[in-house]
Structure 1
Amino acid sequence: MSNALAGKVVFVTGASSGIGEATALALSAEGAQVAVGARRAGRLESLADRAPGEVLTLELDVTDQESVRAAVAETVERFGALDVLVNNAGVMLSGPIVGADTTEWTRMVETNLLGSMYTVHAALPHLLERKGTVLQISSTSGRIASANSGVYAATKFGITAFSEALRQEVTAQGVRVVVVEPGFVATELAGHITDPAMRTAAQQMAATMRTLQPEDIAAAVVYAVTQPEHVAVNELLIRPTDQTR
């Protein structure tokens, strides 16, 4: 355990598995006090048991503004401040546009895009006070849209646009905004896909390469948030070496 983030308070959404879980553990190992939120709150207790530092577990639904505001308020009440927000909660429900179940579009927009916006909105007053950091977990799909992933890509492009506007609004006040765009990562994300053909295609594509591990992305997050205050790492694109797009 190091002390790079000693005295800092971090809130990580979507922390019940994958990138969120790995990031919470990595930030705890750097000395941060960490609040973790997820819909599957039962999984967070295991994370807290494995973390080297103090962890606050919170049941969180980022699509519900009241849930988001309550989680941020409880974090600040417990730890006295908020220095870093890691917006990681998200779903990927790939499929063709023709004949799509549009309720899945709504779920992606509400979780991936609106959810991250709601969390930024709730956390921002505290981050401004501490000259903190907003870190958005996006995707390579936020740079390159692909067939059968149109709405997922739209949510990730939206995160990039929102983050750049936010950066311009708050950077002069000392708040840093970071967008991390992972390629293929070995997580549960592809398991969310309800279309069997698309789920199989995602699994087959991942099998053709040495996929990233959640810890690889967590290491990038640690790098970004531990830079000196005058250094803003605004964007990190991280692909497996074997990924061509």
Structure 2
Amino acid sequence: MSSVDGKVILITGAARGIGAHTARALARKGARLVLTDLDAEPLEALVAEIGADRAIGVTCDVCDLASMESAVAEGVERFGGIDVVLANAGIASYGSVLAVDPSTFKRVIDINITGVFHTVRAALPSVIERRGYVLVVSSLAAYGPAPGLAAYNASKAGAEHFANALRLEVAHHGVAVGSAHMSWIDTPLVQDAKKDLTAFNEMLASLPGLLSKTTSVDACVAAFVKGIEGRSRRVNVPGWVGAAGWLKRVITSRVGERETLKHVPRILPLMDAEVAALGRSTSERNTALEDVAVSPK
């Protein structure tokens, strides 16, 4: 029997990508799911696919605490409580600090950090009651930054340290906390960036060795499920990302930055020009979803 069989798992950003595929994998192992996203149509389709007896979907914005509290309340009413939280919702922006749209920069921080806080804050009383587990989705970007992605880099570093602080606060309640750190995964986030920006593709091509490779969503999901089942402190995808965590000070040293700095004078102006031509600093999908976002109260 799987360790998640019968457990109730809250997943944010569940409509697409890692969130949706992880939901399917956990459902196959017998979990019951509380799924949230701003994108109502694919969320409803996912719930229908998994089965209304195993999952509920709540359309809401992680930036709105009241909405997350309502989603958790629906999950508790339906399934009795929340055992596991996968704080997965996240977006990225494009462009240098001088070129990125300030409102998009703020939106990235709001979703990727404040959204994690709202998710955890809303679910934590039930998770404590059940001595459960929280997995906060951070990134390799918490260990090694990329030029042109400052909001994403900052937010994922913040998400990691939020998880570190939370771990200290809830350990005596029997709650375990982990953070997930992924390199490039073949998700809509990466696919959209590749489609929008020649500069993004050139940046990937300029990275050495494993850093330039994109990992499949299936491999990422397998690592997430294993991490949830094992209540892991760190989930690294692929496994070599763990070494980057240990080498963070080297990566951000003059020596570690030397190779990247060779390419910045060429790639960053190209990215900024392409962002200006697009008229947006994030994917078209994210721009559309901002229009339906619930305004924070």
Q: Tell me, what secondary structure is at the counterpart of 2:163?
A: helix
| 2:18 maps to 1:48 | no
Alpha-carbon separation, structure 1, partners of 2:99 and 2:85: 37
Alpha-carbon separation, structure 1, partners of 2:48 and 2:171: 36
| 2:114 maps to 1:111 | no
Alpha-carbon separation, structure 1, partners of 2:15 and 2:193: 14
Alpha-carbon separation, structure 1, partners of 2:181 and 2:9: 20
Q: 1:202 to 1:72 in 2, by over 3 A?
A: farther
- Amino acid in the other structure paired with 1:37: T
- Amino acid in the other structure paired with 2:50: A
1:203 Cα deviation from its structure 2 partner: 7.3
Q: Which residue of 1 aligns with 2:23?
A: 24
Q: 1:95 to 1:194 in 2, by over 3 A?
A: farther
Q: Tell me, what secondary structure is at the counterpart of 1:226?
A: helix
Hey, which of these two has a bigger chunk of helix by percent? 2
For normalisation by structure 2, the TM-score amounts to 0.73
* Contact 1:16/1:38 (8 A) holds in 2: yes
Q: Tell me, what secondary structure is at the counterpart of 2:62?
A: coil
* Partner of residue 215 from structure 1, selected from 211, 214, 218: 218
CA RMSD of aligned residues (A): 2.6
Alignment of 1:231-242 (within 5 A): 232-239=231-238
Q: 1:195 to 1:178 in 2, by over 3 A?
A: same
Q: Tell me, what secondary structure is at the counterpart of 1:181?
A: strand
Alignment of 1:34-73 (within 5 A): 34-51=33-50, 54-73=54-73
- Amino acid in the other structure paired with 1:17: R
CA deviations 1:75-102 (Å, max 9, x no partner) are 1111011000001100011311123211
For normalisation by structure 1, the TM-score amounts to 0.88
- Amino acid in the other structure paired with 1:56: I
1:156 Cα deviation from its structure 2 partner: 0.4
Q: 1:204 to 1:39 in 2, by over 3 A?
A: farther
How many residue pairs match? The answer is: 238
* Contact 2:204/2:212 (8 A) holds in 1: no
Alpha-carbon separation, structure 2, partners of 1:43 and 1:202: 31
Which one has the largest radius of gyration?
2
1:209 Cα deviation from its structure 2 partner: 5.3
Alpha-carbon separation, structure 2, partners of 1:66 and 1:138: 24
CA deviations 1:63-82 (Å, max 9, x no partner) are 11111111111111110110
CA deviations 1:35-81 (Å, max 9, x no partner) are 11100011022222332771111102101111111111111111011
Alpha-carbon separation, structure 1, partners of 2:216 and 2:195: 23
- Amino acid in the other structure paired with 2:222: A
Q: Which residue of 1 aligns with 2:95?
A: 95
Alpha-carbon separation, structure 1, partners of 2:221 and 2:86: 11
Alpha-carbon separation, structure 2, partners of 1:194 and 1:113: 26
Moved more, 89-98 or 41-50: 41-50
